[in-house]
Amino acid sequence: MSPQDAVRTTIGEDVEITGNIKCESGIQINGKLNGDLTCASQAQIGSSCSVKGNLSVETVSIMGQVNGNITAKDKIELKSTAKLHGDIRARRLTVEDGVTFVGKVEVNPGGAGGSKPQEPRQPVVADLDDEDEPVKETPPEPQGKGIFRR
């Protein structure tokens, strides 16, 4: 851990902040934050912490509650007591047993310059009606809008 990553600012359990926080060095929040956190280093969201806002960080370890989206340049750690309602995006992700998470995840170890996502493939439907016949795979019916002519 470099000196920049070390926690230099701690916000206590009895502190409630309404507004955005921006910091260059590590921060630990144990109180309430009603606003966004932008941190160029490590952030720790303590077990007694409640955040209503977005996080943009280098790395973050969450033990408390976050209602907002999280973007990490490197790593997001969701500890067993974490409760997260929002989308997350990072190069690396760790999730412990017991986490409550509602949202979407994008993990890209290759970073932002990764490959383009693949198009979703159509599912294959198997016909299992007759036990004597071999399984026949049939493509699904087309769905969505089509061109209709009279």
Name the pLDDT band for 1 (thresholds 50, 70, 90). very low
For 96, half-sphere exposure in the C-beta direction (CA atoms, 13 angstrom radius) is 11
Average pLDDT in the 130-149 region?
Answer: 54
**Tens digits of residue pLDDT in 15-66:** 999 999 999 999 999 999 999 999 999 999 999 999 999 999 999 999 999 9
For residue 133, what pLDDT is reported? 56
**Tens digits of residue pLDDT in 110-136:** 765 444 555 555 565 555 555 555 555
**Tens digits of residue pLDDT in 81-96:** 999 999 999 999 999 9
Domain ranges of the chain: 7-107
- Comparison of pLDDT for 43 and 5, the residue scoring more: 43
For residue 6, what pLDDT is reported? 75
